[in-house]
Structure 1
Amino acid sequence: MPRILLLLLAVPLLAFAVAACGDDGPSEDALVVYSGRNEDLVGPLIERFEQETGIETEVKYADSPELAATIIEEGDASPADAFFSQDAGALGALQSESLLGKLPAATLDKVPEAFRSAKGDWVGTSARARVIAYDKRELQPDDLPASVLDLTDEEWKGRIAWAPTNASFQSFVTAMRAELGEEQTKAWLEGMLANDVQPYENNIAIRDAIAKGEIDAGLLNHYYVAEAIAEEGKDYPVGIYEPGDGDIGALVNVAGVGILASANQQEKAQRFVDFLLTDASQEYFADELKEYPVVPGVEADPSLQPLDEIEQPDIDLNQLDDLQGTVELLQQTGVL
């Protein structure tokens, strides 16, 4: 099966129906951004970019795997100038196809090496931790397993949720493949299915299902719960649990951005990338979205466990580029 079809099968087939900001498409001089980040989350920040720079910006929003697949099919004819991804894996998939251009050292050096492309093709904009979100009315942290791998145990049958079409979940599975190997990852996926894991559309749906008491726990990114706690107060019924000892369930990934090698608006795209790495933008990620800033000197929300205290696995984010292999495995096991 062609690579692009494998990528598209990972998510609902909306890649070719992504809504642009205007019915007639972007104007000739507009910066075109494909955003795998949700409009509700980053729309205000992109509006701020337009206001501060005067650069007209057209944004297409969809899931990161969809947009990566679209760009791969469009190739050098893609109208996109920049790709703002939910995770490193989708950026790595474009890098593997040589579709991203090199970023200047001055941009890359704003971010620690762990949060950027080793080849210089993309840079992280904010970090997030994979967690087990849980119902605080039913569970305590001591009730949760030491490893995400233990969620296949009988006691968790029908009690766990995941979002298999989500970009962050697919990157998590890719990281598991890199860390534990293909066979152990396959066994875990099959074990979760046998244990009646409950599929949901996205991380927000999982969080809300836990809050409503529909499910006991789920796999998602930390900030979805942190945002809700900030809005609803400390009595919000969903908690965050991070496995220790370098467990793959505590993977720290990044949202990130790259400039297409074929971009028509290279200079404007570069200004967009640099804007996302300003202190003001990093503070937006930290304060408004409860993500971890990646530019040194900008503080994370104090309610979060400090990033350097998370016992995360030793995973190089550059290893997360094999989206095709992950999709094949998810299809093979029946997860997709």
Structure 2
Amino acid sequence: MHVRRFLTASLAAIAVLGAAACGDEGPTDTTEGADLVIYSGRSESLVQGVLDDLTTETGVKVGVRYAGSSELAAQLLEEGDATKADLFFSQDAGALGALGKAGRLEALGPSVADQVIDGFADPNGLWVGTSARARVIAYHPQQAPEAEQMTSVDEILDPTYKGKIGYAPGNASFHSFVTALRVAKGEDGARDWLTRFKANEPRKYDNNVLVLDGVDKGEVALGLINHYYWYERVAEKGAEAVTARIHFLDADDPGALINVAGVGIIKGTDQKEAALKAVDYLLSEKAQQYFADETAEYPVIEGVTSMHDLPPLAELEKSSIDLNELDSLETTLAMLNEVGLT
């Protein structure tokens, strides 16, 4: 009940941010008449291609509701056993962990977790990662060339960057980053960091794409995003047409978090067999190649390489925080509301 109370209380603020990001028409929902219903916190533009294949792969009609991961996690808790969702496809591990902690996910079985790289699945088998992404600092090379030397996200708190930082407050990956801050710095340390961040008057954007746009156009000097947004932009427009650069902190720092997108099967579904087939497909070589090439993310199974010039995942120094410690989403949302960063 503690998890449900906080997440549901935060749903209104997150829903407003999600609606702004999706435009006046709201998120896409194709669940009417579907046999297997997926609630996807991953954006339609990123994953529609791979989800479109699921009808063929599972042999059942698949429908998807798209919205923010935190919003959907709260909705699933609110709906409880009455939900029509069979599978939750989350942008981050934190929302999956919150649902698992609340008893809303089915065990996947050890054979599922065994398919992925160590550390990218819940040790209790309640969720599994489908792709990995690194938190990075996007920067404008003329406005903030020094960003290339940063080793801690604390450095963006310098008053030099007042009014010059972009972030997406409704984004699930930002929520996981804040949770990582709480794990690394403790509650008081994280609250102090967020208070100083707010005092630097960061600029709010509806999503990470717009954060990158802001850096690229020079609206802001720095932006907090995931790595793949930049690689997708470069693949689309060419490196010479993209002014923004990104920097991997390459340190044991919350700003160097390697998180996952992932899936969990909703407790009580009557489509568990189809849902397991969907999970297996998302971990297949074909789907992993899609994530590696189409979304520029890191695959979570061995033997798949990317067309993008990504620094090797194994060579990145990253935050030592265990992804299973990111499950306190309710406390993170409450702290963001308290500090005024929603």
Which TM-score band (shorter chain)?
over 0.9
Shift of 1:51: 2.9
Shift of 1:198: 1.1
SS in structure 1 opposite 2:321?
A: coil
SS in structure 2 opposite 1:296?
A: coil
SS in structure 1 opposite 2:252?
A: coil
Name 2:224's counterpart in structure 1.
219
Say if 2:307 is the partner of 1:278: no
Point out where structure 2 has 5 or more consecutive residues left out of the alignment. 20-25
Name 2:80's counterpart in structure 1.
75
Picking from 50, 66, 84, the partner of 2:89 is 84
Name 1:261's counterpart in structure 2.
267
Name 1:187's counterpart in structure 2.
192
> Do 2:150 and 2:249's aligned partners in 1 also have CA atoms closer than 8 Å?
yes
Q: Judging changes above 3 Å, is the alpha-carbon distance between structure 1 residues 196 and 69 closer, same or farther for their aligned structure 2 residues? A: same
Q: Distance in 1 between matches of 2:53 and 2:117?
A: 25
TM-score w.r.t. structure 2 length?
0.92
Name 1:252's counterpart in structure 2.
258
Matches for 1:132-211 after TM superposition, within 5 Å: 132-140=137-145, 145-211=150-216
SS in structure 1 opposite 2:122?
A: coil
Name 2:30's counterpart in structure 1.
21
What do residues 122-171 of structure 1 show as CA deviations (whole Å, max 9, x unaligned)?
Answer: 00000000000111343435555331112111211111111111100000
SS in structure 1 opposite 2:174?
A: helix
Shift of 1:10: 4.7
> Do 1:88 and 1:254's aligned partners in 2 also have CA atoms closer than 8 Å?
yes
What do residues 285-311 of structure 1 show as CA deviations (whole Å, max 9, x unaligned)?
Answer: 001110000011112345111111221
May I ask how many residue pairs the two structures share in their alignment? 331
> Do 1:10 and 1:327's aligned partners in 2 also have CA atoms closer than 8 Å?
no
Picking from 243, 247, 254, the partner of 2:249 is 243
Q: Judging changes above 3 Å, is the alpha-carbon distance between structure 1 residues 118 and 162 closer, same or farther for their aligned structure 2 residues? A: same
**Which residue type is aligned with residue 127 of structure 2?**
W
Picking from 318, 321, 325, the partner of 1:319 is 325
SS in structure 2 opposite 1:50?
A: helix
Q: Distance in 1 between matches of 2:148 and 2:122?
A: 38
**Which residue type is aligned with residue 165 of structure 1?**
G
> Do 1:282 and 1:293's aligned partners in 2 also have CA atoms closer than 8 Å?
yes
Q: Distance in 1 between matches of 2:174 and 2:229?
A: 14
> Do 1:20 and 1:59's aligned partners in 2 also have CA atoms closer than 8 Å?
yes
> Do 1:6 and 1:324's aligned partners in 2 also have CA atoms closer than 8 Å?
no
> Do 1:6 and 1:327's aligned partners in 2 also have CA atoms closer than 8 Å?
no
Shift of 1:20: 2.3
What is the CA RMSD across the aligned residues, in angstroms?
1.8
Shift of 1:26: 2.6
Matches for 1:31-180 after TM superposition, within 5 Å: 31-140=36-145, 145-180=150-185
Name 2:22's counterpart in structure 1.
none
Deviates more, 1:285-294 or 1:196-205: 196-205
Picking from 9, 13, 26, the partner of 1:6 is 9
Q: Distance in 1 between matches of 2:57 and 2:324?
A: 32
Shift of 1:115: 0.4
SS in structure 2 opposite 1:258?
A: strand
Residue identity (%): 45
> Do 1:7 and 1:323's aligned partners in 2 also have CA atoms closer than 8 Å?
no
Name 1:335's counterpart in structure 2.
341
> Do 1:145 and 1:243's aligned partners in 2 also have CA atoms closer than 8 Å?
yes
**Which residue type is aligned with residue 324 of structure 1?**
E
Q: Judging changes above 3 Å, is the alpha-carbon distance between structure 1 residues 142 and 190 closer, same or farther for their aligned structure 2 residues? A: closer
Shift of 1:211: 1.5
Q: Distance in 2 between matches of 1:296 and 1:65?
A: 29
What do residues 160-200 of structure 1 show as CA deviations (whole Å, max 9, x unaligned)?
Answer: 11111110000000011011111111111111111111111
Shift of 1:247: 1.7
Q: Distance in 1 between matches of 2:298 and 2:148?
A: 27
Q: Distance in 1 between matches of 2:207 and 2:147?
A: 26
Q: Distance in 2 between matches of 1:180 and 1:301?
A: 37
> Do 1:137 and 1:237's aligned partners in 2 also have CA atoms closer than 8 Å?
no
TM-score w.r.t. structure 1 length?
0.94
